[in-house]
Amino acid sequence: MKKEIAELWITALKSDEYKQTRGTLKDEKGYCCLGVLCDLYLKEKDTLWEDLVSLRAKYLPKEVREWSGVQSSAGKISDDKAVKCLSYENDSGLTFVEISAIIKLYQEVL
């Protein structure tokens, strides 16, 4: 994962700008952690959600993975077997603050 993108992502997850949802990148309730990353990409590229993914998509599009350096469409950020994909962590109930701590931990190792 690219360190500068990780820092943006951590800041966004800790902000009050994004409400959390589960099972999809984005819905009327909010975003999953991967949806927040997609939104950061869209803001930087000045692109609309509809131009990137279906609003009911669950996984990161290729463009966002390449931009961020995230290893997989499910949000794998480390080869460490103890760390599950971030989509799993989000949907299993971890908060954005807890997920940001995981990203921070592995950002430091990169």
Domain limits at 52? 3-109
Mean pLDDT of 22-46: 95
Q: What is the pTM of this model?
A: 0.91
How many structural domains compose the chain? 1
The candidate with the shortest Cα–Cα distance to 70, out of 1, 12, 15, 22, is 1
Cβ neighbour number for residue 46 with a 10 Å cutoff: 6
* 45-88 pLDDT per residue, tens: 998 888 887 666 788 999 999 999 998 899 988 777 767 799 99
